[in-house]
Structure 1
Amino acid sequence: MEILIIIAFIIVAVVLLLIELFVVPGISWAGISALACIVYANIYAFTHLGALGGFITMAVSAITCIGSLVLFMRSKTLERLALKKDITSKVNKQAEESVKIGDRGLTTTRLALIGYADIEGKIVEVKSMDGFLSEKTPIVVNRIDEGTILVEKQK
């Protein structure tokens, strides 16, 4: 019966270890639980099976954890879980092409650095160079950089 309990804890620890490494990012409940299961299985082995049983359990648990990690990494499971889609979308440059440096407008939303403005009758996303700007603040286009329209408060 003791051996079945030890085997169960080692299997649970291996499953939790794989979840920790490949599913849940960072140190989480899965990693802590896996460590607790391995430690408990070894302590249980030392107390119920003696020193020889404890050392055999330590060796088996280490080989099982490392072996399952290697087998999982070599299997096709990671390829099925991996994200393979490339990002093919591009920045919308219509606003950049329709707005020119020096154009004047009015903010339609609060610019908490980024927001929307009505420039020459077109609602476009803009970025403030003057920090936070309130809604309905007069602005002027200062610069256009890689699809981002940079504005400042009109003086």
Structure 2
Amino acid sequence: MDWLILISLIVFGALLVMLEVIFVPGTTVVGILGLIFTALGIYHAFQNFTPMVAYGVLAAAGLINFGMIVYGFKSGVWDRFALKDTSLGSAYEDRLLGLEVGQVGETISDFKPYGKIIIADKIYEAKSQGGFIPSKTSVTISKIENNKIIIKP
């Protein structure tokens, strides 16, 4: 009966480590459970068998788990989870093309301090430099910085 418990713990632990490495890499919960079951098997061996058998079980369990990890890295499973592409674009990259400091537009909403302006039939979101600006007010672009339009009346 002791051998059945020992073999069951070691095999179940090794299977959990294999599941972690091959099927669900990166979650670590399954792998940690596998190592816990393997450690329980080794503990059981030291409690119920001679030291020579227990050290043999320790070496075998270590080799089995190490072999599973090496196999997982060599099989290319981790490549499915690795980022390989690079995003070169960015949001709103050319949104402010054609705008210059000094251009005149009209507010289409109240600025408190943010609101909407219309310049050359295009609507932009902007920030007022001085605070509140009512709707339908003529404004001038005073700054364009960090992809933001700053206006003044």
SS in 2 for 1:22: coil
Q: Distance in 2 between matches of 1:59 and 1:107?
A: 76
- Percent identical across equivalent pairs? 17
Corresponding residue of 2:18: 15
Show CA shifts across 1:79-129 (max 9, x none).
Answer: 344343343535544422132234456597x99xxx884342433466x69
Corresponding residue of 2:36: 36
| 1:100 corresponds to 2:100 | yes
TM-score, length-scaled by structure 1: 0.60
User: Contact (CA 8 Å) 2:142, 2:150: kept in 1 or not?
Assistant: yes
| 1:55 corresponds to 2:58 | no
SS in 2 for 1:61: helix
Show CA shifts across 1:10-42 (max 9, x none).
Answer: 323423552799332xxx533542332222121
SS in 2 for 1:123: strand
Corresponding residue of 2:89: 89
| 1:143 corresponds to 2:144 | yes
Q: Distance in 2 between matches of 1:58 and 1:38?
A: 9
Q: Distance in 2 between matches of 1:118 and 1:129?
A: 10
Deviation at 1:48, TM superposition (A): 3.1
Q: Distance in 1 between matches of 2:108 and 2:54?
A: 72
Q: Distance in 1 between matches of 2:46 and 2:128?
A: 67
Deviation at 1:57, TM superposition (A): 1.8
Deviation at 1:56, TM superposition (A): 1.5
> What letter is aligned with 1:99?
L
User: Contact (CA 8 Å) 1:6, 1:45: kept in 2 or not?
Assistant: no
Corresponding residue of 1:66: 66
Deviation at 1:43, TM superposition (A): 1.2
Q: Distance in 2 between matches of 1:40 and 1:129?
A: 67
Q: From the superposition, tell whether residues 57 and 68 of structure 1 become closer, same or farther in structure 2 (CA, over 3 Å).
A: same
Ranges of 4+ aligned residues in structure 1 off by more than 6 Å = none
Task: Determine which structure has more spread, i.e. the larger CA radius of gyration.
Answer: 2
User: Contact (CA 8 Å) 2:16, 2:33: kept in 1 or not?
Assistant: yes
- Bigger strand fraction: 1
Q: Which sits farther off after the overlay, 55-64 or 91-100?
A: 91-100
Q: Which sits farther off after the overlay, 96-105 or 68-77?
A: 96-105
